[in-house]
Structure 1
C-alpha cells in the first residue's frame, strides 16, 4: 500500500495534467460549459419529484427534492467515475504505447476529474438547503468520510472494469446497464427508512426479511446515500449498521481488484 501511495505521489504532476486535460476536452466548445455537470442530477431530481407526486413515498417530513438531490450527489459521482474509469485505459491507448508509468493513474484521474463536478453539486445542494431553511449540524463533518468511501468503491469497480475492458470491449457497453439497474437497488428514489420499515418492521419477506435486508446493505451505495441524507439533511448520525456490510465487502474486494489490474497491465500495450 505504501508503494502504491508513493507511486501516485511521484506522478502527481501527471495526474494533475491528465485531470486538467479531461476537464478541458469534456467542456470545450460547450455553451453551458461545466454546468452540464449538474444538469443530470437536477433533471433526475425533477423527474423523481414528479413521480413522487403520483406515488406516495414517506420522507419523514423532509422536503423530497432535497433528500433526493442529496442522494443523487454520491450516486452520480459514483456512476460517472465508474463510466469514465472503465474506459480510461482504452481511451489513452496512444499514451500507453509510448511510455510506462503506473496504469492505475488512468482510473484515478477519471475519478478525480469528477471531484470538480461533485463540488458544484454540493454548491447547488447548499443553495437548496438555504431555500428550505435546513441548517447543517456537526454531523456534516461526516461528508469527507463518505466522499472518500465513495471514491474507494468507484476505484474498486474501475480497476477491474478497466482491465477487463482492454480485452473485452463489451464491458464498456454492459457497465451503464448494470449501473442503471443498481440505482433501483439503492435508496435514490426512495429512502432507506422505507426498506427498513418493510423488511425489519413489517417483515414483508417473513423469516427471510433480515437476510434480504443484509443482502440489500451489501450494496455500498446504500450506506453511502443514507449517510449523506442523514448527516446533511436529517441532522443525525449515520446508520453504521447500514454501512458495515458494504464497507466490509468493498475492502475485501479492493485488493483483489487492484491485483487483477496490475497483473493485466503487463499486456495492455500489446492488446490495446
Structure 2
C-alpha cells in the first residue's frame, strides 16, 4: 500500500493521458457527448419521483428531486468508478503486453475519468439547488474529503475485482448486478433518517435493531451518501455515527485489496 502514492505521482502524466483518452473515446462519436453523464441520474430521479408518488417517502424539508439527485451524484461516481476499474486491466490488454508500468495505473485512471463526470453532476446539482432556492453553505468544504472517501471505496472494489477479472471473467458480468443490489441497500431512494427512525426509534428489528443499523452503516455508501446530503443540502457536518463504520471497513480492506492486486499483476501478461 505504501507504493501506491509514489507510483501515482511518478506516473501522473500517464494517468492523465489515459484518462483523457478514455473521455475522448467514450464521447467522440456520440451526438449528445458528455451530456450522457447527466441523462442517467436525471432519468433515475424521474423514476424515483414516480415511485415516491405511489409508495410515499418522507424527504423531510428537502425537496425530493434534489435529495435523490444529490445521492445519485456520488453513488453513480462510485458505481461507475468501481465497474470500470474492475474492467480496466482486461480492457488494456495491448498495453500490458507491450510495456511495463505499475498496473494500478489502470484502476486509478478509471477513477480519474469519472471525476470529469462527477464535476458535471455537481454543476447540475448546483443548478437544482438554485432552482429550489437553496443557498450554498460552509459545510460544502467537506465535499473534497467525501469525494476522496468515494474514491477509496471504489478502489477497494476495483483493485481486487480487476485482479480477479483477469482469471475469472464472470466477475465483470456479476458486478453490475451486485452494485445494483447495493444501491437499494444505500439511502439513494430514501434518506438514511428513515432507516434510523425505523431501527433506532421504532425498534422495528426488535432486539436486533441496533445490530441491524450497524450492519446497514457498514455499507460505505450509507454514511457517505448521508454525509454528502448533509453538507450539500442541509448545511450540517457529516454524521460521525453513520459514516465511521463504513469508513473503518473501507480503510481496513483497501490495503488487502491493493496487496492482492500487486501480487497478481506479475501474471497478468501471461494469463490475459
* Partners of 1:99 and 1:174 in 2: CA distance: 30
Q: Does 2:113 match 1:117?
A: no
Q: Equivalent residue for 1:75? A: 75
Aligned partners of 1:174, 1:29: CA distance in 2, in Å? 28
Separation of aligned partners in 2, 1:164 and 1:116: 27
Tell me if 1:198 matches 2:163.
Answer: no
Pairwise CA distance, 1:2: 4.8
Matching of residues 140-155 of structure 1 within 5 Å = 140-155=140-155
Measure the CA separation in 1 of the matches of 2:95 and 2:33: 27
The Cα of 1:4 is off from its aligned counterpart by 2.4
TM-score normalised to structure 2 length: 0.99
The equivalent residue for 2:3 is 3
**Equivalent residue for 2:173?**
173
1:13 aligned partner: 13
Q: In the comparison of the two structures, how many residue pairs are matched?
A: 272
CA distance in 1, matches of 2:72, 2:128: 14
SS across alignment from 1:20 = helix
Hey, what's the Cα distance between the residues in 1 that align with 2:29 and 2:193? 43
Are residues 1:25 and 2:37 paired? Answer: no
Unaligned runs of 5+ in 1: none
The CA distance in 1 between the partners of 2:218 and 2:2, in whole Å, is 28
* Structure 1 segments (4+ residues) deviating >6 Å: none
1:75-100 per-position Cα deviation (integer Å, ceiling 9, x unaligned): 00001101110000000001000111
SS at match of 2:266: helix
* Cα offset, 1:3, TM superposition: 3.2
SS of the aligned residue for 2:124 comes to: helix
Structure-1 separation of matches of 2:104 and 2:89: 9
Give the TM-score, by structure 1 length. 0.99
